Structure 1
Amino acid sequence: MKYNPVKVLYIVAGFLALGLGALGVVLPVLPTTPFLLVASFCFAKGSARFHTWFCSTRLYKNHLDSFVKSRAMTRKTKIRILIPASAMLILAFIFMPSVHGRIAIGVVMCFKYYYFIFRIKTIPVDKLKGTEDLT
């Protein structure tokens, strides 16, 4: 088998992102979903075997499966992503000495809420449970 250093870097980055995403499940200030999306991307680029394994984990199914399949999330998932991200941005806004920096943070917060409210569909939990049973 041929050694490809780029694929190895993708796999290492995938496991690093997976670890941070798993920590995000436990720690409320660390977002889970973005790290798991990065892990999924890295595993897909690095190894089909690792990507298949990752897609079969409960962590993936609980946090990413509905988003990947239908670009939709439950309201609870959206809130679990938005609250810690907003808390971090608010802290950054408070401690930012520059007016331009505060404006940039405000724009990022507005875009974040716009994207989550209007661009990502909200699905009911019971519909999500029904799709899990079929897979």
Structure 2
Amino acid sequence: MKIIYITLGFIFFGLGALGAVIPVLPTTPFLLLASACFARGSERFERWFTATKLYKKYLETYYENRSMTRKTKASLLTLSTTMMLLSLIAMPNIYGKIFMGGMIVFLYYYFFFRIKTIKEQAEG
């Protein structure tokens, strides 16, 4: 099972790295998935992952103090809301639509009230 987690970790890491240069592809969600997979798969790969520039730029502040920059929150909410709205529109079942609507409300609640917003740090 560990080999599956490690493999998934590298796939998600690759997608997250692509997302750092391709504006349409999200970075943070893929890096979060990579982090979770590496944590379950291998302590060595988890240490490697947490030492990468991508981790430090996109995830370190979130893991340290459960906070994100306004830019990170906006990009995550934009992508998530778009995907959820597409699902909501395509959903034929009224209960599915209600569920997706509830998920969108919860997403915004969580991002606005449970994750602190911090200022961008100047790189230097």
Q: TM-score, normalised on structure 2?
A: 0.88
Runs of 5+ consecutive residues of structure 1 not aligned to the other structure = 1-5
When the two chains are superposed, the root-mean-square deviation of aligned CA atoms in Å is 1.8
Q: Which moved more, 1:61-70 or 1:32-41?
A: 32-41
Q: Which residue among 20, 38, 41 is the counterpart of 2:33?
A: 38
Q: Kindly report structure 1 stretches of 4+ aligned residues shifted beyond 4 Å.
A: none
CA distance in 2 between partners of 1:101 and 1:20 (Å)? 29
The one-letter code of the counterpart of 2:41 is G
Write the letter of the residue equivalent to 1:77.
T
Q: TM-score, normalised by structure 1?
A: 0.81
* 1:64 equivalent in structure 2: 59
The correspondence for 2:4, drawn from 5, 9, 12, is 9
Q: How many residues align?
A: 123
Tell me how far apart the structure 1 counterparts of residues 115 and 66 of structure 2 sit (CA, whole Å).
6
Cα offsets for 1:27-60 (capped at 9, x unmatched): 42x4322221121122122222211111111111
Match of 1:77 in 2: 72
- Percent of residue pairs bearing the same amino acid type: 51
Point out where structure 2 has 5 or more consecutive residues left out of the alignment: none
